[in-house]
């Protein structure tokens, strides 16, 4: 078994869609980034890669590579997970938390969990997404950005 931890943060800006967990969330701002800036999936991808000792998302999908400009982070997650599966690992479970003041996303969490489970070819009960505010504190509390944390358990295939 291997455990991985991921963390990501993106600035909220006008003129961008807000994509979290592969789901478009209605909001007046979105996240700034080279890809679709899905902070939740970036944290999850880093957790997966870290658990397999394969570096981070920037190592595999650098923001200097035009192939990844505007790309869906679900595609990056799928590509990263294929690399991990090639090393003989599969997902035990993933637990994630969004740190954000607004918008409220609880009604979108089931759709996020569905999309993530599909991207990782696993049962939905292996995926947990939560959201919390930081009570108006820090950059997330001031609504300047959104952060996400993820932890995963990888298990080795037994032949």
The 3-class SS string of 13-65 reads EECCCEEECCEEECCCEEECCCCCCCHHHHHHHHHHHHHCCCCCHHHHCCCCC
Q: What is the CA radius of gyration of the chain?
A: 15
Domain segments of the chain as ranges: 2-156
pLDDT of the residue at 159: 67
Residue 66 confidence (pLDDT): 84
Q: What is this structure's pTM?
A: 0.94
Binding-site residues for a divalent metal cation sit at 8, 10, 42
How confident is the model at residue 87, as a pLDDT? 94
C-alpha closest to that of 117 among 150, 77, 145: 77
C-alpha distance across the termini of the chain, in Å = 15
Q: Give the span between the Cα atoms of 140 and 145, in whole angstroms.
A: 5
34: region left, alpha or beta (phi > 0 left; psi from -120 to 50 alpha):
alpha
Binding site residues, as ranges? 8-10, 34-35, 42, 56-58, 61-65, 132-135, 139, 142
In angstroms, the CA 139 to CA 99 distance is 10
Cα dihedral across residues 153, 44, 9, 22: positive or negative: negative
Mean pLDDT by 10 residues, the chain (159 residues): 97 96 96 93 98 92 83 94 96 97 95 98 97 91 95 89
Structure tokens given for 157: 């295939």
CATH 3.30.1330.50 fits 2-156, yes or no: yes
Residue 146: name the closest of 46, 21, 2 by CA: 21
Residue 78: predicted pLDDT: 97
Question: Whose CA is closest to 135, among 102, 97, 106, 95?
Answer: 102
pLDDT in the model for residue 64 = 86
């Amino acid at each position: 078994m291997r455990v991985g931890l991921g963390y990501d943060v993106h600035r909220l800006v006008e003129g961008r869609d807000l994509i979290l967990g592969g789901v478009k969330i209605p909001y007046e701002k979105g996240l700034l980034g080279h890809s679709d800036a899905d902070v939740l999936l970036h944290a999850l991808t880093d957790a997966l890669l870290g658990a397999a000792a394969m570096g981070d998302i920037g190592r595999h999908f650098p923001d200097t590579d035009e192939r990844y400009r505007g790309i869906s982070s679900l595609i990056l997650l799928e590509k990263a997970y294929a690399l991990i599966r090639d090393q003989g690992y599969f997902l035990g479970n993933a637990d994630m938390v969004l740190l954000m003041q607004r918008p409220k996303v609880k009604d979108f969490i089931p759709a996020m969990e569905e999309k993530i489970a599909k991207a990782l070819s696993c049962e939905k009960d292996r995926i947990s997404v939560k959201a919390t505010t930081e009570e108006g504190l820090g950059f997330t509390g001031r609504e300047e950005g959104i952060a996400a944390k993820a932890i995963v358990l990888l298990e080795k295939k037994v032949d």
